[in-house]
Amino acid sequence: MKDAENDPYYELRKKLLGLGDSSFRKTYYPVLRHKQMELERFRIILDHINDIVFLISYPDGIIVDYNLRAIEKLGLKPHEVISREISAFLFDDLGKPVSLKAMKDKGERILIRAEIACRSCGKMPVEADLSFTKYGDEIYCAIVCRDITERIQMERLILDSESQYRTTIEAITDGILVINSSGRSIIYNEAFRDMYIRFTGEEIPEKIDVSDFFKQTGLSESGDIHALMDSMDSGEIIGKVLLDDKMAVIEIKKIPIIHEFRHEQSVLIIRDITLNSVLDELRKDVLYQLNRNMEQFAILNDEIRNPLQALSGTVELKNPALAGEIQPFINEINMIVRRLDIGWLESEKVRSMIKRHYGVSVLEKDEIRDAVHYIREFRLGDENTINP
Amino acid sequence: MTGYNRALRKFVSPEFITGDGAREFAGRYSLNFNLKKVLFVTDPNIEKCSWLSHVIDSITDNGVEYEVFSSVTENPSVDEVMEGADVFSTTGCDGIIAAGGGSVLDCAKGIGIVAENGGHISGYIGLDLIKNPMPPLICVPSTAGSSADVSQYAVISDRSRRTKRLIVSKSLVPDVSLLDPVPLSTLPREVAVNSAMDALIHAIEGYCSNGSSPVTDTFGLNSVEMIIRNMSPGYWKDPERSFGIMIASLYAGLCFSNAGLGLIHSMSHALGGLTGMNHGYSSFLVAREVLEFNMDAHLVKYRTIALKFGIDCKEKRYENSELPGLINEKIMDIFGYEERPGLADVGILEDDVPELVQRTMEDPCIATNPRLPVAEDIKKMYLDLL
């Protein structure tokens, strides 16, 4: 300590004489030991990952190394794997042994679906990542095989589910159109395809710009459609599509799909409600006629009941005996009129209900004819039962 | 009371083979180190020497590939080191064989440091800054003097700053030294003489160092004795004498690498950096003044050295102050120097002195000088030497 305090060169001299903390002769052991530990640690990772790993010498295809998971999953003993050819274990999707040469011709790194021979399960479907690399003078191929049994099952389930959804969507008679945030179509169903052809007169393209579709159909002339499309909320509008002398009534319902607080897609349900609209209008007419009839009927009841009252009174004053004879007939007529009154009241209830529920229609009187033309041509075919 | 120095000391040496044809073991050692491709570091002059073919043949005969890097010049620069490290990495070398003088061996050490540790060689200037050991280094020294083949030092020059800086680490001691006297026979006279001078100064400074030990003393004193005995004009042409000088250089290297050096080397490094002059010669130029400065700090050892030079300190009863001059005369006589020029004669100006003093004070060799100088002491010496 005394030396260290009085001598400015104490520490320097210690190092010069090899007595410093890190002064020792050249030895590879500490570095090698450190590297060995790093490698052993990495080996643990390799052995415990769920993938099967092989190191193959190229071009002879001999397995020179493998991870612990490989022999575990394949149900083999080390001597059954080491120094064997990889072609004895790995098969392509046609069941043929994988040729390393053929793989290398395709590139330095290839991802294939393959099957690997497994003692317990026969052949295990795998996704094999083949990577060729040079080490020293030798070329090696590192193969990482991932068991995709579950993935294939999931893919099948997803495929089935998708098929079911597709069938369901196709079975819906309303047009279904899914668009992205730019208004470009992602999927649509057959009903929409029919609508597209019907309203635009053109074959449907692979991708549709929904704003073009609205322009072609004339729906965009209404500001409502723009407000609906610009909105991030659900909503619906009803619009009319004019085709020469024919008019269709369309209901468009928009359901936005929100993902992680972002409006990424929208589902448009496009329903042809022309027939409903026409029927609504006809119902209104029927109701109107029914109103008129009821009024006339009430007047008629009064007009029957009042003379009958007068007749009964007069006969009773002038000829009481005759009055007794005809009274049953007068009562019978009164009962009939009374029943008609009750029936009228019940009809009034029906009328109110109809008025309440079917009182609104987008069609004007002068548009009914065009709508019926449309229904005749596109909606009812030859079985035309509606007369405008 | 034995008088032995019982202070803590360490001794590290490489494996070495001595004798005619030792250089031909280069290939076998490469194979033993499991090397696939070695970087063969040398300089343009050595490349022309016929003895080198035996080294190369031994490499190829053992199935080892090699890549030649021969862009090394005297007082190797940081740029040369970095260029060599780049060749090492890009050509896939895994070991180094260095055949040449101290400059080649020092450059090879620098290449090894960068190859294994990365970064720039200037980042390793100093003591014990090397983390990972460099790749296997096999040395075939072509001179007898630098002892870079057995020492823990590497001297690298920064030519843009005109400095010579030391990298010191026990891990810089090479793995193998193949001490073959044959290459010495092809040396130019000036190189052969200055190398031997370097060896002598190594031996004297190592022996008198304040870090010396009984082990290093043995090597140091034997080295002085062997140099005095074998040094003669044209020694490198005489197989017996050249081998003697080579072993003396080995002893000197084992001595100073473990005991440290002193002020002669600190001043010599400063002068060499500034002027680029030969290291052995610059050491000779300053030796007498440093001996005078140190004499009283280790009188017994300096007297022992004087006795080795045949200066009978006891009979003629020379004053201590006379010994440095007498030793200097003996050295000039043995080495065939007719004069010892002043520093002004080799281009040093008085204005250079402050810079030289600062560099000398910063040189690590000063720490093991037997008498620790202050800046004024060094300034006085430089001014006296002008």
- Which residues lie closer than 8 Å to B343 by C-beta, 6 or more apart? B271, B285, B382, B385, B386
Kindly determine whether residue B368 and residue A24, on different chains, have CB atoms separated by under 8 Å. Answer: no
Total domain count, chain A = 3
Q: Give start and end residues of each alpha helix (H) in A68-139.
A: 68-74, 78-81, 100-106
Asked if the model's pLDDT at residue A60 lies above 60, the reply is yes
Q: Within a 13 Å sphere around the CA of B383, how many CA atoms are in the beta-carbon half?
A: 8
**What are A321-373's pLDDT values in tens digits?**
888 888 888 888 888 888 887 877 777 777 677 666 655 566 777 777 788 88
Chain B hits for A138, CB-CB cut-off 8 Å, are none
- For the domain covering B15-184, report its CATH number: 3.40.50.1970
B375 in contact with A at a CB cutoff of 8 Å?
no
Report pLDDT for A328. Answer: 87
Bridge partners (DSSP) of residue B126 are B167
Intra-chain end-to-end CA distance of chain B, in Å: 45
Percent of chain B with pLDDT over 90: 93
Ramachandran sector of residue A237 (left: φ over 0; alpha: ψ -120 to 50; beta: rest) = beta
B36 in contact with A at a CB cutoff of 8 Å?
yes
| Token output for A13 | 């001299």
Residues A373 and A283 in one domain: yes
Find the angle CA(A243)-CA(A247)-CA(A252) to the nearest 5 degrees. 100
Kindly determine whether residue A26 and residue B172, on different chains, have CB atoms separated by under 8 Å. Answer: yes
Among A215, A221, A222, A211, residue whose Cα is nearest residue A268: A211
**What are A257-304's pLDDT values in tens digits?**
888 878 789 999 999 999 888 888 887 787 788 778 877 877 888 888
**Contact B39/B85 with Cβ under 8 angstroms?**
no
A23 in contact with B at a CB cutoff of 8 Å?
yes
In a domain, A12, yes or no: no
Chain A hits for B172, CB-CB cut-off 8 Å, are 26
- Which residues lie closer than 8 Å to B280 by C-beta, 6 or more apart? B145, B193, B194, B195, B196, B197, B198, B201
Report pLDDT for A361. Answer: 60
Helix axes B323-335, B189-208, angle to 10 degrees: 150
* Probe site for chain B from A10, A15, A16, A34 (most B CB atoms < 10 A): A16
Domain residue limits, chain B: 15-184, 187-385
B167 in contact with A at a CB cutoff of 8 Å?
no
Q: Does domain B187-385 have CATH number 3.50.50.60?
A: no
Kindly determine whether residue A16 and residue B168, on different chains, have CB atoms separated by under 8 Å. Answer: yes
In a domain, A225, yes or no: yes
Whole-number Å distance between alpha carbons of B156 and B37: 25
**Contact B258/B170 with Cβ under 8 angstroms?**
no
Cα torsion angle, A78, A83, A84, A86, sign = positive
Asked if the model's pLDDT at residue A1 lies above 50, the reply is no
End residue of a domain, out of A272, A293, A324: A272
Asked if the model's pLDDT at residue A2 lies above 60, the reply is no
Bridge partners (DSSP) of residue A272 are A250
Residues A118 and A177 in one domain: no
Q: How many CB atoms sit inside 10 A of residue A338's CB? A: 13
Cα torsion angle, B306, B308, B314, B315, sign = negative
Question: Running DSSP on this structure, what letter comes out for residue A209?
Answer: B
End residue of a domain, out of A272, A303, A319: A272
End residue of a domain, out of A224, A251, A272: A272
Name the 3-class secondary structure at A182. coil
From residue A75, give the alpha-carbon distance in Å to each of A87, A92, A152, A322, B71: 17, 20, 22, 117, 59
* Probe site for chain B from A10, A15, A17 (most B CB atoms < 10 A): A17
Residues A306 and A324 in one domain: yes
In a domain, A202, yes or no: yes
Among A268, A272, A280, A253, residue whose Cα is nearest residue A199: A272
Percent of chain A with pLDDT over 90: 45
B158 to chain A, minimum CA–CA distance in Å? 22
Q: Within a 13 Å sphere around the CA of A178, how many CA atoms are in the beta-carbon half?
A: 10
Domains B15-184 and B187-385 share a fold: no
Kindly determine whether residue A17 and residue B9, on different chains, have CB atoms separated by under 8 Å. Answer: yes
Whole-number Å distance between alpha carbons of A95 and A116: 10
A6 in contact with B at a CB cutoff of 8 Å?
no
Whole-number Å distance between alpha carbons of B86 and A379: 83
Q: What residue ranges of chain B have pLDDT lower than 50?
A: 1
CA A160, A166, A169, A173: dihedral to nearest 10 degrees? -120
B340 to chain A, minimum CA–CA distance in Å? 31
Report pLDDT for A99. Answer: 92
Chain A hits for B12, CB-CB cut-off 8 Å, are 18, 25
Report pLDDT for A351. Answer: 67
Whole-number Å distance between alpha carbons of B61 and A58: 28
Percent of chain A with pLDDT over 70: 94
Name the 3-class secondary structure at B319. coil
Provide the residue range defining the domain that includes A76: 49-152
Q: How many CB atoms sit inside 10 A of residue A170's CB? A: 12
B260 to chain A, minimum CA–CA distance in Å? 6
Q: Which residue has the higher pLDDT, B294 or A229?
A: B294
**Contact B59/B27 with Cβ under 8 angstroms?**
yes
What backbone phi and psi angles, to 5 degrees, belong to A68?
Answer: -60, -35
Residues A348 and A283 in one domain: yes
Helix axes B279-294, B189-208, angle to 10 degrees: 30
In a domain, A220, yes or no: yes
In a domain, A159, yes or no: no
Asked if the model's pLDDT at residue A381 lies above 70, the reply is no
In a domain, A263, yes or no: yes
| Token output for A305 | 């009941």
B367 in contact with A at a CB cutoff of 8 Å?
yes
From residue B135, give the alpha-carbon distance in Å to each of A136, A237, A292, B96: 17, 80, 113, 7
Q: How many CB atoms sit inside 10 A of residue B372's CB? A: 16
Asked if the model's pLDDT at residue A181 lies above 70, the reply is yes
Residues A246 and A266 in one domain: yes
Whole-number Å distance between alpha carbons of B33 and B54: 19
CATH number at residue A253: 3.30.450.20
**Contact A249/A281 with Cβ under 8 angstroms?**
no
Chain A hits for B258, CB-CB cut-off 8 Å, are 17-18
Q: Give start and end residues of each alpha helix (H) in chain B.
A: 26-32, 44-47, 52-61, 78-90, 102-117, 189-208, 214-230, 239-259, 263-275, 279-294, 299-308, 323-335, 353-362, 375-385
Question: Running DSSP on this structure, what letter comes out for residue B148?
Answer: T
